[in-house]
A and B are shown apart, each in its own frame.
Chain A
């Protein structure tokens, strides 16, 4: 009896679109887009090389920049112009050290260790907990205990 019921359930339970006209909205262009992902990798390169996380990051940077609400675009124009100035200055006058957003950490202490195969992080053994810190990045990751 149970088997029969199970079988019935299996036959009846369908996935999301069910080839029904009313359920067409379950198939937007984004589902279709998946079919092109493999070909895009062949033609353009790995997904990580062509994704747009960097754009979100840039936008995330621009958002708090906005100060003027009456002239928001002039405000943004001014800011990206200044960014261009900085980039140019750093190239023209060898100012990478002064203008770099990254700073390298000074000498490591006795409690810290950098492993050869993972040089961008250092492990801090402190008060019985391991903490991971990034060595070069300006934005230091929140340390977490494990």
Chain B
């Protein structure tokens, strides 16, 4: 195959490939496709869809692997589950009466796709971003400046607990990528409808401007989910196994250097919202006793009113508005990578079930993290809190709920941060009117925040809160301290958004965040 490139493609293949691309990108229906064939028939000879699809499969060399899974998508029949006849969770049959599997999960192997990058000159150049990256001392400008990558550079590869003789990212073509999963509703926004969970890899070897483009994301499959998957590990097992082959190395041919080499690739981060990360790390839910994935803070609940959910304030509730006990935000016990394994072992060794359950609750750990075979992931720290979900989809809408008096049936207590409905309506109108004079390159249309909040996307929240709120909210609170508190969060967000950030700035940021959270709790 090497170097053959275009020679084996006929002119008709090229036309077919272009038609195929058009068909996919525009989500064209069969009838429109046939119409196109007919309309351009006098100039182009486009094959039928069926022929094209099979030709593309042969030419591309992609070999998807189908794994059977439970019809309710509780688990996939991989690894130790392969021979099971019933689902462990819902006891539905593996096979239907006709002997066919009830549901299948299609896994698209990543390795062949990574090696094929090196058959394309432009792609080889694009992928050299990591190798050519020059760090500026004292600042963080990309993932390659941060501690995790830098530590990996100095460490030897660990596969299945065994240390190998080569280091992470020692080859110039080695690829760093991150994994992201996120469930979404297939039909509208109904909570209980059918959903799907795509598995997407982001390639850090590409420069930041292109690594997020659709063309450059690698989708390893879509987990079907009539219900949310219960055993995520079984679905991601093929990927975990592939991480091993990627770490060991795949034979590849570099079309620029014109030589064979061994391609290594490592997953360095796991990304996603809180729920996705809980599943990846096998920790207990976000309402549990020890809910934080980064530290060992323990939650407390409203015992007086029989509350079951644990919350995690820094200061525990006390009398007369004073905290009875406080966690020191600068000295939170951080979780460690080894801690995950040690605690799991402790839970396993517990004498009886009751004790094991108690330990599991105390540590907030349910089961082993999903990606356990290659040592490039630090369970405790390489799962960053996602900026978008954290700030834009949680903290900011919650703040607004507080201001408008809609936050979980809480009133303002002894605070005066609530905004009268007529003022809020006015703010909504001002928001909608403000955007008319802002170029579309900055933000898309914002709707009236008081009336159409459901139309606000993460991007709208970001723009509204950082650039519009400081103006429309000015002098709207009874007490200006709420306005200053809000602006402090805006400032925090602006620092976190910097393209490059120095270590001093991070220290300042940390103090500002602590100050903000402390005030929030007061």
Contacts and interface: CB of A to CB of B under 8 A. Distances in A.
B219 A83 contact: yes
A34 B413 contact: no
B217 A84 contact: no
A48 interface: yes
B116 A91 contact: yes
Given A55-B272, A91-B117, A38 B513 contact: yes
B415 A42 contact: no
A5 interface: no
Nearest to B442: A144
B354 to A, nearest CB: 27
Contacts of A77: 64, 104-106, 221-222, 224
A84 B302 contact: no
A50 B479 contact: no
B269 to A, nearest CB: 6
B24 A84 contact: no
B415 A93 contact: no
Given A24-B301, A84-B60, A43 B382 contact: yes
Contacts of B214: 57-58, 61, 101
Interface in A28-58: 28-58
B388 interface: yes
A44 B141 contact: no
Contacts of A48: 208, 387, 497, 499
A37 B200 contact: no
B6 interface: yes
Interface string B300-338: 111111010101111111100111100001001010000
Contacts of A38: 506-507, 509-510, 513
B17 interface: yes
Best-buried of A56, A87, A101 by chain B (most CB within 10 Å): A87
A31 B394 CA distance: 9
A143 B506 CA distance: 37
A87 B323 CA distance: 57
A113 interface: no
A52 B182 contact: yes
A14 interface: yes
B513 A35 contact: yes
A82 B120 CA distance: 20
Interface stretch (B160-168, B286-294, B345-353, B426-434): B286-294
Contact of A96 (B27, B120, B186, B385): B120
Interface string A108-146: 000000000000010000000000100000000111101
Contacts of A53: 212, 388, 458-459
Interface in A47-82: 47-59, 61-67, 69, 72-74, 76-77, 79-82
A12 interface: yes
Contact of B272 (A52, A63, A79): A52
Nearest to B116: A91
B103 interface: yes
Given A24-B300, A46-B142, A98-B14, A39 B294 contact: yes
Interface in B109-161: 112-113, 116-117, 119-123, 140-149
Contacts of A67: 27, 29
A74 to B, nearest CB: 8
Nearest to B221: A80
Of the four ranges (under 10, 10 to 19, 20 to 34, 35 or more), the interface on chain A belongs to 35 or more
Contact of A32 (B29, B218, B219, B297): B297
Nearest to A142: B440
Contacts of A55: 180, 182, 198, 200, 271-272
B386 interface: yes
B208 A65 contact: no
B51 interface: no
Contact of A33 (B142, B390, B416): B390
A8 to B, nearest CB: 12
Interface in B505-522: 506-507, 509-510, 513-514, 516-517, 519-522
A128 B421 CA distance: 41
A10 interface: yes
B44 interface: no
Interface stretch (B235-243, B402-410, B465-473): B402-410
B302 A22 contact: yes
A83 B416 contact: no
Contacts of A141: 440-441
B200 A54 contact: yes
A53 B408 CA distance: 28
B520 A37 contact: no
Interface string B491-511: 010001111110100110110
Interface of A: 9-10, 12-59, 61-67, 69, 72-74, 76-77, 79-96, 98-101, 121, 132, 141-144, 146
| 5 cross-chain pairs, A with B, having the tightest CB-CB distances, nearest first | A73-B224, A45-B143, A38-B510, A88-B60, A30-B394
Given A42-B146, A89-B60, A132-B440, 4 more contacts: A21-B302, A52-B271, A53-B388, A80-B221
30 contacts: A9-B416, A9-B478, A18-B413, A18-B521, A20-B321, A27-B313, A28-B398, A30-B395, A32-B314, A34-B516, A36-B385, A37-B513, A38-B506, A43-B382, A43-B384, A46-B496, A48-B497, A50-B269, A50-B384, A52-B180, A52-B271, A85-B57, A89-B59, A90-B120, A91-B119, A92-B5, A92-B60, A98-B14, A99-B18, A142-B440
